[in-house]
Amino acid sequence: MPAKGKHRRTKTGPISRGVLAAGTGGAVLALPLIGATGAHAAEQSAPAATSAAAHSASASAPAAKSAPKTYSVVSGDYLAKIAAEKKVKGGWQKLYQDNRDVVGENPSLILPGMKLTLGAKASGSAEAAPSTAAPSAAKKAAPAEKTAAPAEKTAAPAAETADSGASESTGSGWAAPVENPNVTTQYRASGASWSSGYHTGSDFQAASGTSVRSIGPGTVVSAGWSGSYGNEVVIQHEDGMYSQYAHLSSLEVSAGQTVTGGQQIGLSGTTGNSTGPHLHFEVRTGPSYGSDVDPIAYLRSHGVSI
């Protein structure tokens, strides 16, 4: 074993880059070694660089994950269907608002292949920034989010009621056929435009693609094309009366289906014999034309304020 302290002895003499060692086979020249201090410093700098690179990568990772999700429209899609399936907060109205530049002026006309963003504006404007940052924040706070979820679900019906204003009655189970109802043609208005000589229902202002809802619980009697009424839905209610919703651009229910008050059954449009987008709404004593009664009076009798 070498003598103690020999490793630390200061080298002297002119030969500073080699050490002459005697051996049985003759003299050999030992090549210089890197100083212990330099090697130790190199070892320490490597982990530091690795750590800095890892920190930089982890810092940029959330930004890459925060990009908004997109959806490619397929045949048979409509905004309300996409919003429901993808659970878009704010419904089809929010989805349309965020993708108006892509969809155009008519929300009921979307084409296969269109790319829609979910939960953020398609233009990528500053207004969409809070939405794009939300996913990374939500992932970091996962336990708290799970705890808060029931409260969010509980608050949702209250928000919907507040948006609809006077169109829904509190706890009655009945609702106006559209939110913020505005009657443009009254029941029994006279004129040559109608085959019976008068208007058999009430027309509500509704741009194409507006959500149309069942006024109360009941069963769908028919849903489909009906001549001058275009696409229509007829529902029988628990009191034996019938409600009719005409000129729809799309249908979301079928015959025999049970519905609740306020449930979306289709989207408004201008199909059939129509002068422009609106909802033609009737209340009848039977399922067919000619058995109409005052629809506004019927809604008010069920606590719906119009």
The Cα-based distances of 87 to 3, 67, 99, 118, 225 in angstroms read 78, 17, 16, 9, 29
Q: How many CA atoms lie within 13 A of 87 on its CB side?
A: 2
Could you confirm whether 280 is annotated as catalytic?
no
Nearest alpha carbon to residue 298 among 236, 259, 256, 241 = 241
Contact 251, 242 (CB under 8 A): no
For 303, the token pair is 């606590």
Q: Which of 247, 278, 280, 302 is catalytic?
A: 278
Burial class (CB in 10 A: 0-12, 13-18, 19+), 49: exposed
For 11, the token pair is 């080298």
Burial class (CB in 10 A: 0-12, 13-18, 19+), 180: middle
Gap between the Cα atoms of 47 and 124, Å rounded:
39
Q: What angle do CA 278, 284, 289 make, to 5 degrees?
A: 75
Which helix (H) or strand (E) element contains residue 302?
Answer: none
**Secondary-structure percent of the chain, ordered helix, strand, coil, rounded to 5:** 35, 25, 45
Gap between the Cα atoms of 19 and 28, Å rounded:
9
Q: Which residues are catalytic?
A: 278
